[in-house]
Structure 1
């Protein structure tokens, strides 16, 4: 017998804050808060709301959804979510998947092809995803010991490079909030551009980071390493409810010569600890779906042996027939681009009856 769906309720900002205050021990990702939704709105994106899911009167999970309208694939995405407040068993997660399916199939305001979110225990109808959207493993630094023990927990290589950076005269500064956007635009974004060109990835434009700093300033720090008065390395950390994340960073060639990134991150740990944070996530490292993170993995492993597995992002199809056709088209595009047009034509011309029914 299929269990009944959870009861769900959309949360206002005040509802969310009251709920979070009642569960102070739960780590809620910043991406799953109204404050992050405000940031997405500033970027021109379309947050759809935050919902709480209950089993009777017991809170099970919350999820903040973002609407995505990419061609042929309208969807709802829970970025780094949902947040679980109850035990995340296979049965509980399957019930949440069922609830979300029924919730958004019946919602007249949206018609998503699928819902994308993290799933720890994948089972049908969970599938995919069409493309991966979040890292699957990260390194976490425990900030609860005293600073001497934290430092002693680093690999010998990292400790030596930190000491060398200090001897070379690298200076780390916490930038005042009033100067963030100006300093970033004029001094720090060029370092990001250099890093992206050197390491072969595409960065956001400067406006993205400036909007982040402006909108989420209550939850961020911007720290910069200087050599001879010139910025050579920078990082942005987030903080929410006593947990911090090493979110964005970039370093110039000069930074590598002086080991500035090592000293910068060490100084950041001390500042974050003093601010009351109990841990710092260093974000993604190499995994099966993200082999390209091998280079940053080498750097991050210097600071902690604690590796945390993050539930993988999956899709929950709401229109399975259309989803399967789209998945085939995308697979063919990767393997044989010339065959894509015909499959996309099939997707476009599926009968209206197929589109409208609960496949």
Structure 2
């Protein structure tokens, strides 16, 4: 596919004429060089890594990768997923992307993407991996005020609904471990110490079967959906290459895995994408009731330590409710994560229309999503 080329007016030169700049999208065919470019960008995410796109093939999505160049210099990289909805109708999606040197490139990138889009591509959704600070507190004083800090548009891109969780907790793992532990909520510190006294072992683990048992049990308990198992297996295999990592962290008590998560990492960031916990229903070794070993707390602390020890400066806990209200289906997950980090951030999404039919298509997809939410949770709101 030829490179998409755009010539735009830049700042004025000394003689009053505009400086001409060219942005190109050049197809990326080598996974190692593409993933290296994504990892090196200051605005980036592991979801833009080659392996994430390869795993999405299991869901029927087609990954498209491009280097973003200006004057021969690589100033970004973008992985687009083409989703075919019905014959002749598709959309494009950049999961937590594109990876860029500067957000100011987005208007130019938009025009370049128009040059590579097919007639069947009706709109593009991007999720720039540039976190916007929301707050450092357990409560949310004013959701509208927090949202007002988010730009309504970037050039032709307009604010839209995200596919990945929009609201999350980010943990800076660069301090030493003593400082990190001291920064936990006092209940988390107490529970981690209890887990250690009870012999809980938590850390990286190779047992996909044990993770899968925890993950599926959590989804069933919370009425959450999941992709086919083949997708998660492909993600673990494909994202664990070319400088990136895909790994499991499990928390075990007396050999049984009771909590765990699936992570992908690239560059300086690691993301907790999937996971959960199960109750220990084994009979107690003594007494009438088995004591709570606090395995989930041990799991989160092990995840923070692991990120620190492997040089990932940011741990993304991946998803808390938009509205921090106890009535929300996922509020319990938020309370657990809050014990380990309180810095909340927004990752907003933006849409770019590629067809006159895109507004109608987006409305139809929003209605479908609302219907599925209502059928599963009794509300049209998203879980997060």
TM range (shorter): 0.7 to 0.9
Alignment-derived partner of residue 95 in structure 1:
108
- Preserved CA contact (<8 Å) 1:140 1:308: yes
Residue aligning to 1:85: 101
> Is 1:10–1:52's contact at 8 Å kept on the other side of the alignment?
no
Report the alpha carbon displacement of residue 156 of structure 1 after superposing the two structures with TM. 0.7
Check conservation: 2:37, 2:76, Cα contact below 8 A.
Answer: no
1:353 equivalent in structure 2: none
CA RMSD of aligned residues (A): 3.2
The alpha-carbon distance between structure 1 residues 172 and 127, as it changes in their structure 2 partners (threshold 3 A), is same
Question: CA separation of 1:334/1:145 partners in 2, compared to 1, >3 Å: closer, same or farther?
Answer: closer
Greater helix fraction, Structure 1 or Structure 2? 1
Q: Quick one: distance in 1 between partners of 2:370 and 2:264?
A: 39
- Listed as ranges, the gaps of 5+ residues in structure 1 are 338-359
Given that residues 238 and 244 in structure 1 are in contact (C-alpha distance below 8 angstroms), is that contact kept between their aligned partners in structure 2? yes
Q: CA separation of 1:211/1:7 partners in 2, compared to 1, >3 Å: closer, same or farther? A: closer
Whether 2:66 is the aligned partner of 1:50: answer yes
Structure 1 stretch 138-147 or stretch 323-332: which is displaced more?
323-332
SS of the residue 2:317 aligns to: strand
What secondary structure does 1:253 align onto? coil
Tell me which protein shows more strand as a share of its residues: 2
1:307 Cα deviation (Å)?
2.1
User: Aligned partners of 1:298 and 1:209: how far apart in 2?
Assistant: 26
In the superposition, relative to structure 1, how do residues 265 and 328 fare at CA in structure 2: closer, same or farther (>3 Å)?
closer
- Change in 2 beyond 3 A, CA 1:15/1:300: same
Equivalent residue number for residue 313 of structure 1: 349
1:116 aligns to 2:122 (yes or no): no
Q: 1:133 to 1:292 in 2, by over 3 A?
A: farther
Classify 1:18/1:248 alpha carbon distance in 2 versus 1 (closer, same or farther; 3 Å). Answer: closer
CA pair 336-77 structure 1, distance change in 2 beyond 3 A: closer
Distance (whole Å) between structure 2 residues aligned to residue 295 and residue 233 of structure 1: 15
Choose from 70, 85, 104 the match for 2:85: 70
Moved more, 247-256 or 63-72: 247-256
Instruction: Give distance in 1, aligned partners of 2:184 and 2:360.
Output: 49
For residue 151 of structure 1, report the CA deviation from its aligned partner.
0.2
Q: How far has the Cα of 1:34 moved from its partner?
A: 1.9
The partner residue of 2:299 within 264, 269, 280 is 264
The separation in 1 between residues aligned to 2:280 and 2:80, in whole angstroms, is 41
Using the alignment, how far apart are the partners of 1:336 and 1:210 within structure 2?
A: 29
2:322 corresponds to which of 287, 308, 313: 287
Q: Distance in 2 between matches of 1:297 and 1:323?
A: 34
Deviates more, 1:65-74 or 1:39-48: 39-48
Query: Which position in structure 1 is the counterpart of 2:220?
Result: 197
Gaps of 5+ in 2: 1-7, 10-20, 129-149, 282-290, 373-384
Q: Decide which of 18, 23, 29 is 1:6's aligned counterpart.
A: 23
2:379 aligned residue: none
Structure 1 residue 137: Cα displacement:
2.3
What is the TM-score of this pair, normalised by structure 2? 0.72
- Count of equivalent residues: 317
1:62 is displaced (CA, Å) by 2.0
**1:30 matched residue in structure 2:** 46
Mapping of 1:186-335 within 5 angstroms? 187-218=210-241, 219-254=245-280, 257-287=292-322, 292-310=329-347, 312-320=348-356, 322-330=357-365
